[in-house]
Amino acid sequence: MTETFIHPLAVVEPGAQIGAGAEIGPFCHVGADVVIGDGTKLISHVVVAGATTIGRDCTIHPQAVLGGPPQSTGHKGGRTTLTIGDNCIIREFVSMNTGTDFGRGATTVGNNGHFLAYVHIAHDCSIGNNVTLTNGVTLAGHCEVGDFVGIGGLTAIHQFVRIGNNAFVAGGSMILGDIVPYAMVGGNRAVLRGMNVVGMKRSGVPHAEVLKLRLAYKTLFDRSRTLAENIETAREKFADSPYAMRVVEFMLARGKRQFTLPPLKGAADDDADGQD
């Protein structure tokens, strides 16, 4: 089907670009600066505002609000954007804001994302491909989420946090620090609980590399040495492992937050602050 369908009870402002085979259901509102890709479906009561581009074959459920202005008092009203990739499923009451004119100026969401009810993606976030955010996940501004990341429900993520590829975050967590690729974290405040072995196997990481990653994890988070010493040791020891080196490179490209670390020996999980 290549014919575009716009329900007579929908509002599509002049200037909006609607792709072939797209469907705009009843009581949707599509702004003048919006681009909607081929085959994308807005079921009903969806608002797409601002300078928002949505890719092909997405399905957007009722009460989602995409492209609203950033919730930031520092934003001065400049033109900023939201870009959503192909084949995304966006469920009820999801909100995604555009960027800020003092930040990246853009919020970006990759392909094949699955965003469950009440997810919020704030201004200037960058979300990778094949990401699943379950019900009630909240990302503050300027967060970076890698590919194949899964985040459990009712999790809140501090601004400027980076989450590496293939990481898994348990539901109900409070994330204050960066999460290295392939890690598994959880808790209030979250601590590192090991490597996401199941996720690595599902994404095709060879068994030998999984074993190396587990050894690299022990080296990187050995509390008998400083974190800088651990990173240098791991860079030399696991130079032959492209997967371990991705973790090392992530840690070398340190962001504005501390890393999420394992709990201190003998500390209760929720008493550890996850900071170094």
Residues 6+ apart with CB under 8 A from 138: 119, 120, 122, 155, 156, 157
The span from the CA of 251 to the CA of 227, in Å, is: 10
Is 207 annotated in the active site? no
Pick the catalytic residue from 33, 86, 124, 147: 124
Spatial contact of 63 and 46, defined as CB atoms under 8 Å apart? yes
Is 75 annotated in the active site? no
Residues 6+ apart with CB under 8 A from 34: 13, 16, 17, 48, 49, 50, 51, 52, 53, 54, 67
Pick the catalytic residue from 141, 187, 199, 274: 141
Is 123 annotated in the active site? yes
Pick the catalytic residue from 75, 123, 142, 158: 123
What positions carry a catalytic annotation? 123-124, 141
